[in-house]
């Protein structure tokens, strides 16, 4: 199972970006998807997550009201619409997915990480 993230870049404060992440490979289903970020010198933190089936979302306090996570189950994709970006949003953003894979004996729930995509907010 692989996650391919895209959409990062350089944007001015107050601007917008949309990140995309698509899952590919062999899996039974995707249970949840999320975006994390890691700024230089800081630990990786959860930004937003979404339950693929029911669409229930949650956000960190620092992005609530500015970021929106959404999913397209048919495309095995998750998106992060980021508005009103601030310099403190600068970080490498990582896609994460909880997937169920089948094995010869049973099913297993795995957390998969994608490669990061750089978001820089600067004037």
d(CA 97, CA 117): 16
d(CA 25, CA 114): 13
Q: Which pLDDT band holds residue 10 (cuts at 50, 70, 90)?
A: very high
For the chain, the first-to-last Cα distance in angstroms comes to 37
d(CA 35, CA 95): 5
Dump pLDDT digits (tens) for 73-100. 999 999 999 999 999 999 999 999 999 9
CA-based radius of gyration for the chain: 15
d(CA 1, CA 120): 28
């Amino acid at each position: 199972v692989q996650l391919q993230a895209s959409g990062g870049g350089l944007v001015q404060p107050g601007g917008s970006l949309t990140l995309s992440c698509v899952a590919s490979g062999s899996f039974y289903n995707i249970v949840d998807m999320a975006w994390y970020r890691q700024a230089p010198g800081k630990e990786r933190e959860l930004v937003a997550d979404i339950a693929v089936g029911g669409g229930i979302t949650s956000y960190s306090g620092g992005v609530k009201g500015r970021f929106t996570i959404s999913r397209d189950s048919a495309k095995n994709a998750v998106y992060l619409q980021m508005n009103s970006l601030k310099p403190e949003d600068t970080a490498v953003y990582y896609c994460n997915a909880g997937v169920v894979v089948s094995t010869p004996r049973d099913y297993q729930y795995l957390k998969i990480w994608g490669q990061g995509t750089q978001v820089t907010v600067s004037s």
